[in-house]
Structure 1
Amino acid sequence: MIDLGSVYQVAVDVADANGAAVDPGSADLTIILPDGSTVTPAVPTPTTTGQVRVDYVTEQAGRHVWRLVTSSPTTAYADVFDVQPAIPVGIVSLADARAQLNMRPSETADDDELRTFIGAATAAVERALGRAVVRRSITERHQVGRTSQVLLRQVPVLSVTSVTTADGSTSWDPANLRIDSETGLVTVVAGEPLAGDVDFVFEAGEAIIQENHRLAGLIIIQHLWETQRGTMGVQLGGDTDNWSAGRGFAIPRRALELLGSQLPGVA
């Protein structure tokens, strides 16, 4: 995972049939961007024999797929890379995650891996709660008849930015809407009712992330970190890895308790 606007390097080592490094006669690179369009960056002549390197400045967030094809020798290579949004969605900061793992500020070699764990922990907490925690902008399309009310799917709703039909022909002033933050119910209190395919752009999440939600996220991050390195062992009766029917090991029991989730067999 890299930041939007940073450089991703496509790195391919080309060898001949005997396994010796060799510069290809030609090389063509194609990158499929998250929106489905493609770019074909120029491939420079290797500065070190056989080492084809292309620096690409990222312009879109999301999954990128690249393919490099060479001739003389004929080879093909493909891989993917992910670019995170300019404003990352994380329940805790990278510094908080490092502190939870007792890492020194200078220990940055595992930052990319930690950021992946932060994203996974954020999704796990929000799934367990059934609501958005980290504030973000969301776009939802609703198909409605003539109605004065629509129930948004992502809650809590902090504010509505815009409401327009999909074709842009009609819009509704957010000032004329009443919003129930917890339920996501949007009611038109003045003007024409909603009708057609309507796009809602709104902010959802917690204005202030609750401490139990943050701590649950940190516990999940630590759990993923330690189990990925095989340092915890299998402790079926332990606090962290206590197993219950219907529950996996991605979310420790103590994190679920912080989130207020009802555990199986617990009255």
Structure 2
Amino acid sequence: MTYDLGATARLIAQCRDAGGAAVTADAVTVTVTLPDGTTATPPASEATPVGTYHADYVTTVPGRHTVRWQFTGPAHAYTDVLDVRPEQTPAILSLRDAKEHLNLSLTDTREDDELRFWNNATTTAVEYFTGPVVVRTVTEDHAVGMVEALALRRAPVLEVTAVEPLRDGGTSYDPDGLNVNSPAGIATRKGGGLLHGPLRVTYRAGRPIVAENISGAARIILQHLWTTQRRSRSGGLPGARDDYSVTEPIPGLGYAIPHRAKQMLNPDDQGPGLA
């Protein structure tokens, strides 16, 4: 399951004996391994029914966590994972916009977590064509020697915040001394001259204003993904038609999105940073 950063994750597991029956354990240990390799051991307690245990863990960092349950008396173990979203939303559409587009009740929250998952997947599909839409901080290394320009990989670029050397004795550069072509993501020195690498560049990428063709395409992709997976459960939704889906594969994405969404992204589908 995925949690927001700072939320409490309720971890649940069952202790079972060799025959598979749920039983009370003599002792239980829960170890949460964070993305950086550090660990936490929240206390666990038995709940109902018999043999069911839970532990509450307050999330502190984003990323994939591993959860390890170890029982003794009887010996039993269980391993699971949980994901923590970053503080900044990774989605183009708000949850309210997504629910309104899918004609879902704004007050019924039972499917919110699932919808947020597909909303985030939709953003990834859109950004395949447009480059970053959601504003984020990017840090990347450039193994270059002496160059007149750096081609940053996640355009459009809003601003460069740091340029630091990757080796001892290398040269750092003041971001104020750089010209940045935002759509293309090309950074050059204002006074001319070369940039001496290798360099680590930190910058902000994305679009502070999301054009309606992009948000419109996001709505089409979200509806396609949502309808497709709901159909598998219920045999189809009212108004859901096969011609909503892709009829020919899109290079790089196959049948993941409808062609009408790709058309909505024009001219943003020219490639990352070229819109």
Measured against the shorter chain, the TM-score band is 0.7 to 0.9
1:34-91, Cα deviation, whole Å (9 max, x unpaired) = 12x1314143342444221111111111111111111111111011111110011111
Tell me the secondary structure at the aligned position of residue 203 of structure 1. strand
Cα distance change of structure 1 residues 78 and 109 upon mapping to structure 2, 3 Å threshold:
same
Question: Take 2:157 and 2:191, find their aligned partners in 1: how far apart are those partners?
Answer: 20
Q: CA shift at 1:104, angstroms?
A: 2.1
Match of 1:244 in 2: 248
- The alignment status of 1:254 with 2:255, answered yes or no, reads no
Report the alpha carbon displacement of residue 203 of structure 1 after superposing the two structures with TM.
1.0
- The answer to whether the Cα contact below 8 Å between 2:43 and 2:56 also exists between their aligned partners in 1 is no
Letter in 2 for 1:229: R
1:62 maps to amino acid: G
Q: Taking structure 1 as reference, are residues 17 and 96 closer, same or farther at Cα in structure 2, changes over 3 Å only?
A: same
What's the TM-score once normalised by structure 1's chain length?
0.88
Does residue 13 of structure 2 align to residue 9 of structure 1?
no
State, as a whole percentage, how many aligned pairs show the same letter. Answer: 39
Counterpart residue number, 1:55: 56
Q: Give the Cα separation in 2 of the matches to 1:209 and 1:168.
A: 41
SS of residue matched to 1:102: coil
Between stretches 104-113 and 46-55, larger displacement belongs to: 46-55
1:114 is paired with a residue whose SS is helix
The answer for unaligned runs of 5 or more in structure 1 is 263-267
Structure 2 unaligned residues grouped into runs of 5+: 271-275
Distance 1:29 1:118 in 2: 32
Q: CA deviation at 1:193?
A: 4.1
Structure 2 residue 198 is the aligned partner of structure 1 residue 197: yes
Residue in 1 aligned with 2:273? none
Instruction: Please identify, of 154-163 and 17-26, the stretch whose mean Cα deviation from structure 2 is larger.
Output: 17-26
Corresponding letter in the other structure for 2:93: V
Q: Distance in 1 between matches of 2:102 and 2:250?
A: 28
Partner of 1:265 in structure 2?
A: none
**Counterparts of 2:55 and 2:257 in 1: how far apart (Å)?**
39
Match of 1:95 in 2: 96
Match of 2:124 in 1: 123
Matched, 1:162 2:162: yes
Aligned length: 258
Distance 2:209 2:45 in 1: 52
User: 2:190 and 2:92 mapped to 1: Cα distance?
Assistant: 35
Which ranges of 4 or more aligned residues in structure 1 deviate by more than 6 Å? none
Task: Note the 1:76-95 alignment, pairs <5 A.
Answer: 76-95=77-96
